[in-house]
């Protein structure tokens, strides 16, 4: 989108700490780069074929995803955002699907620059199937008749069908079922006996009878977490406390953005399980708050205190994180008659920090215990700019 000169070029994206390949362009695949390859193992390939490398840029991805979903929402009476790069939309009342759907795609590409594929069918399972086929069909595919559906499922690999996991696939292979067309012809009773209620849903979905509804309202989150692997091993309690300060601050920011408070805060530490020569230690502790909170002061105080309790001298820690559970909406906060609540001022300070950091960049104002020199911070040597999320990185037209 922001570097059009890379279209048609081999490109890979790396995971946290620039560890493994988690995304590849078709050109990079052709040179033998596999999903999950450690960066150091394919370094020679990258150099030989001049493959462009980028670190994960989750803030940018999230922002672009929001733009795509906002554009899609204009065209669908109901939109269920399924993940960062996928959504289900309801098209009740739309009759001219063959002309309507290409317009939706053109609108998204024009307004966001992101190419999308759209599959349309009477059920979610068939819509997912149509979406996959649409990638090689100009970006859109409408399966609105029995003939079109039968033709689409005839040779579609059963292992690529939504809802088919390892165990189901094993059963299908034993019966020499290799395509969705073959699976679809199995009796409904077979689905009930071998795949329980989920199988019965799949059977109905494959025959165009919707059994998985579009969600009317987003499901309330069970938890919010922030965890990172360190650039270098941490063997000092003070340095570990700095990292937990940053993670707890980010957690508070997430909670406030969603207008949620947490009643429980879990802190955990990990060592490197792949290093047999290192002593292993992966402690975890959950702290219950007297009054649910989302302000940075409360969360940091707990996280740093617990991290020092969990820390063990002589251990090389590779990762740490915080998880907020027992989530309740801000406007349903229950106070404790036996505990003096002074969160009002802290809450105000936290929201002021959010406002300033939003305007001037994350980390402009932070807790002092976060420190300044962060040798433990994530490695992202190939990070692209925050074209839509950072004022200094906005593209300037000359």
Give the separation between CA 179 and CA 206, rounded to whole angstroms.
Answer: 12
Q: Which of 41, 56, 71 is the last residue of a domain?
A: 56
pLDDT of residue 218: 54
Domain harbouring 12, CATH code: 3.40.1170.60
Digit-by-digit pLDDT tens for the chain (398 residues) are 899 999 999 999 998 888 899 999 999 999 999 999 999 899 999 999 999 999 999 889 999 999 999 999 999 989 998 888 999 999 988 889 999 999 999 999 999 999 999 999 999 999 999 999 998 888 999 999 999 999 999 999 999 999 888 888 888 888 899 999 999 998 888 888 887 788 888 889 999 998 888 765 555 678 899 998 888 899 999 999 999 999 999 999 999 998 999 999 999 999 988 788 889 999 999 999 988 999 999 999 999 999 999 999 999 999 999 999 999 988 877 777 666 665 567 788 898 999 998 888 778 898 998 887 777 777 788 889 989 888 888 888 88
Give the separation between CA 370 and CA 233, rounded to whole angstroms.
Answer: 17
Q: Is the torsion defined by CA of 72, 76, 78, 83 positive or negative? A: negative
Residues 276 and 360 in one domain: yes
Give the separation between CA 73 and CA 363, rounded to whole angstroms.
Answer: 33
Q: Is 95 inside any structural domain?
A: yes
Torsion of CA 23, 26, 30, 31, to 10 degrees: -50
Q: Is the torsion defined by CA of 303, 308, 310, 316 positive or negative? A: positive
Q: What angle do CA 170, 174, 176 make, to 5 degrees?
A: 110
| The pair of three-digit structure tokens given for residue 285, joined into one six-digit string | 């502790």
Residues 187 and 238 in one domain: no
Q: Which of 153, 178, 206 is the last residue of a domain?
A: 206
Task: Tell me, rounded to whole angstroms, the distance of Cα 247 from its chain centroid.
Answer: 17
Residues 27 and 88 in one domain: no
Residues 237 and 352 in one domain: yes
Q: Is 391 inside any structural domain?
A: no
Give the separation between CA 365 and CA 5, rounded to whole angstroms.
Answer: 37
Residues 237 and 280 in one domain: yes
User: Which residues 6+ apart lie within 8 Å of 172 measured at CB?
Assistant: 158, 164, 178, 183
Domain encompassing residue 230: 223-370
Q: Is 284 inside any structural domain?
A: yes
- CB of 243 closer than 8 Å to CB of 340: no
DSSP letter (8 states) at residue 398: -
pLDDT of residue 342: 58
Residues 139 and 243 in one domain: no
Domain harbouring 93, CATH code: 3.30.70
Helix (H, G, I), strand (E, B) or coil at 90: strand
Domain harbouring 351, CATH code: 3.30.1490.100
Q: How many CB atoms lie within 10 A of CB 121?
A: 22
| The pair of three-digit structure tokens given for residue 29, joined into one six-digit string | 């695949």
Give the separation between CA 331 and CA 166, rounded to whole angstroms.
Answer: 43
Residues 46 and 184 in one domain: no
**Among 202, 214, 218, 231, which residue's Cα sits nearest to residue 92?**
214
- Rg of the chain over CA atoms, in angstroms? 25
Q: What is the pTM of this model?
A: 0.75
Residues 241 and 358 in one domain: yes
Q: Is 98 inside any structural domain?
A: yes
Give the separation between CA 83 and CA 85, rounded to whole angstroms.
Answer: 5
Give the separation between CA 118 and CA 101, rounded to whole angstroms.
Answer: 7
Name the domain count of the chain.
Answer: 3
């Amino acid at each position: 989108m922001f570097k059009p000169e890379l279209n048609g070029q081999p490109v890979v994206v790396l995971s946290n700490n620039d560890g493994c390949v988690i995304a590849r362009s078709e050109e990079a695949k052709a040179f033998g780069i596999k999903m999950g390859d450690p960066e150091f193992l394919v370094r020679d390939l990258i150099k030989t074929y001049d493959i462009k490398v980028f670190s994960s840029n989750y803030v940018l991805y999230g922002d672009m995803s929001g733009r795509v979903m906002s554009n899609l929402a204009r065209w669908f009476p109901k939109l269920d955002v399924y993940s960062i790069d996928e959504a289900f939309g309801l098209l009740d009342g739309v009759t001219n699907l063959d002309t309507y759907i290409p317009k939706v795609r053109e609108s998204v590409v024009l307004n966001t620059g992101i190419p999308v594929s759209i599959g349309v069918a009477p059920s979610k399972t068939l819509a997912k199937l149509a979406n996959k086929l649409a990638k090689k069909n100009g970006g859109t595919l409408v399966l609105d008749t029995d003939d079109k559906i039968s033709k689409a499922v005839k040779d579609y690999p059963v292992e690529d069908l939504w809802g088919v996991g390892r165990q189901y696939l094993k059963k299908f292979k034993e019966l020499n079922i290799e395509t969705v067309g073959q699976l679809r012809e199995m009796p409904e009773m077979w689905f009930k006996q071998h795949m329980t209620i989920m199988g019965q849903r799949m059977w109905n979905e494959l025959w165009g009878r919707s059994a998985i509804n579009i969600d009317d309202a987003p499901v309330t989150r069970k938890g919010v977490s922030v965890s990172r692997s360190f650039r270098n091993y941490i063997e000092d309690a003070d340095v570990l406390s700095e990292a937990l300060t940053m993670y707890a601050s980010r957690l508070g920011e997430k909670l406030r953005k969603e207008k949620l408070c947490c009643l429980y805060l879990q802190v955990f530490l990990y060592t490197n399980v792949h290093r047999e020569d290192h002593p292993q230690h992966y402690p975890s502790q959950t702290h219950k708050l007297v009054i649910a909170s989302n302000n940075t002061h409360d969360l940091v105080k707990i996280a740093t205190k617990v991290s020092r309790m969990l820390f063990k001298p002589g251990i090389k820690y590779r990762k740490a994180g915080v998880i907020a559970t027992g989530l309740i909406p801000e406007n349903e906060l229950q106070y404790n008659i036996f505990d003096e609540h002074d969160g009002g001022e802290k809450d105000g300070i936290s929201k002021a920090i959010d406002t300033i950091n939003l305007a001037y960049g994350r980390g402009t104002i932070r807790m002092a215990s976060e420190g300044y020199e962060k040798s433990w911070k994530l490695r992202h040597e190939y990070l692209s700019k925050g074209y839509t999320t950072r004022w200094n990185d906005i593209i300037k037209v000359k």
